[in-house]
Structure 1
Amino acid sequence: MAGRTSVRIDPISRDIALMLDEEMSPDAQQSFLAAAAQEALTEAQETNRQALGYVPEHETFIDGAKREVLTGLTPKSSVLFEFKLLTDIIEWVDEQLIIHSPVKRGAYARSHVWFADDVEFDPMKPPPAEQYMVLNEAPYARKIERGQSNQAPDGVYQGVATLAKRRFGNVAYVGFGYRSFPGGAVGKWAQSANAAALAKRVRGGNPRTHQDWLTRQPAIILDPGR
């Protein structure tokens, strides 16, 4: 896409190219091609069901144009079925993070932030990107990840990343790690006197190197291109 880095999220797709009997009428050719396309779609849906445990939604494109039904096919037509795997993965991870979040005041559950190539986005509307990441901007997110919450004794992000990898690991890379986020609530906290004192006590050294450590947050990384 112009103006931003994009990558094709490889869906399961089929180009339908068939040699038809020249004596077939146009209507017969249309019916034959539609049946062949539907058979390919059914096969792709079954492949997805076996791999994912469910059948994701899909969009149909005929000769590059989005269609709702398999009509207007000719012997030269190409048909593409594009499955919405990426949207499903992101929505699932976002939902699981909320489900596993401590809910004392709900601030942590409201602090999950999604990025597509380092640009924040709405998880319900993921844009094309090379890599997706979600992290929590709450200053105490690292404490929760270390199990210092009675409501999340095993942390949140690493557990959800493990669940996502089991469910989607065959269609996308899913990883857990820590990423610096000098914005949001954690960014403000990192500028405080308390944060500076903590970094000096624990890390020592040059104060200019402290912000990265103070703002490193648990994160889940999704790479649909791997």
Structure 2
Amino acid sequence: MAIASRIDSIERDIAVMLDETLSPEARSLELASFARRELAEAQRINLQALGQVPPHDTYVDGRAGAAIETVRPDGVVVFEFEMLQDIFAQIGEMLVQASPIRSGRYARSFLFLADGVVVDPGAAVPPASEYVFVSSVAYARKIERGLSSQAPDGVFQAVAAIAARRFSNLASISFTHVVLQAGQIDEWANTASALRHARRHGRRKAPGEWLRRQPAIKIRTH
């Protein structure tokens, strides 16, 4: 997965307006110099947010790996940074570290979804407009309300707040709730205990249905 930083005609016009007498070759070099400055700034921001500089691919006028100095006077330079994997890995690690520790079941319950589809651990993350971390155990909502002494501030909401600050320049991250489909929720949702709980609180929906609304972290790239 990649996030692109595009040096397009608007920035190019700002750069070359300094000297309208430049030749086409000089205009190309001016644009290339501007692109390198923008690349350095993007790398600085990424280092600050991720703790490392992620790899990137360069496209010059649509040519992968071409030298930046070969850009046309009216061309385009695009840098694509492979940073989403790092963001996802760090958020996943923060969730595990913030999890209450008893049997380890809660930490093992996390699912990662790309546009609502569960992504298998270790598989390549597919392109998507929205990514979500969510717990599949029914008691995740109790933990989020601070009912665990090991996580008095909850887990997903606390991690979402930290991640939103840390990666604000790279993605939009927020705490939310999502509805899991049948088969994704913990088996407790269909037990007699869940049914008694639903009746006690005046729930009219099937016990498995109301329990599927789970605390989650939503991630959208800028």
Cα gap change, 1:32/1:224 in structure 2, threshold over 3 Å: closer, same or farther?
closer
Change in Cα spacing, 1:98 to 1:10, as seen in structure 2 (3 Å) is same
Alignment partner, residue 13 of structure 1 = 6
Indicate the SS of the match to 1:61: strand
TM-score where L is the length of structure 2: 0.75
Aligned partner of residue 219 in structure 1, secondary structure: strand
Contact kept in structure 2, 1:136 and 1:217, CA below 8 Å: yes
Q: Alignment partner for residue 80 of structure 2, among 79, 82, 103? A: 82
After superposition, where does 1:67-216 map in structure 2 within 5 Å?
A: 67=65, 70=67, 73=70, 75=72, 78-122=76-120, 125-184=124-183, 186-204=185-203, 206-208=204-206, 210-216=207-213
User: What does residue 62 of structure 2 align with?
Assistant: 64
Q: Does residue 217 of structure 1 match 2:214?
A: yes
Q: Which amino acid letter does the alignment assign opposite residue 171 of structure 1?
A: L
Report the alpha carbon displacement of residue 140 of structure 1 after superposing the two structures with TM. Answer: 1.8
1:223 and 1:32, CA in 2 relative to 1: closer, same or farther beyond 3 A?
Answer: closer
Partner AA of 1:114 in structure 2 = F
Structure 1, unmatched stretches of 5+, are 1-7
> 1:122 Cα shift?
4.4
Count, aligned residues? 210
RMSD of aligned Cα (Å):
3.4
Classify 1:166/1:113 alpha carbon distance in 2 versus 1 (closer, same or farther; 3 Å).
Answer: same
Q: CA deviation at 1:48?
A: 4.4
CA 53–185 in structure 1, closer or farther in 2 if over 3 Å, else same: closer
Shift of 1:106: 1.4
**Residue type matched to 2:146 in 1?**
G
Residue equivalent to 2:39: 41
Q: For 2:137 and 2:107, locate their aligned partners in 1 and report how far apart those are by CA, in whole Å.
A: 9
Query: 1:5: which partner in 2?
Result: none
Q: Structure 1 62/151 Cα, relative in aligned 2: closer, same or farther at 3 Å? A: same
TM-score normalised per structure 1: 0.74
CA 1:64 to 1:220, structure 2 compared with 1: closer, same or farther past 3 Å?
Answer: same
Q: Distance in 2 between matches of 1:165 and 1:174?
A: 5
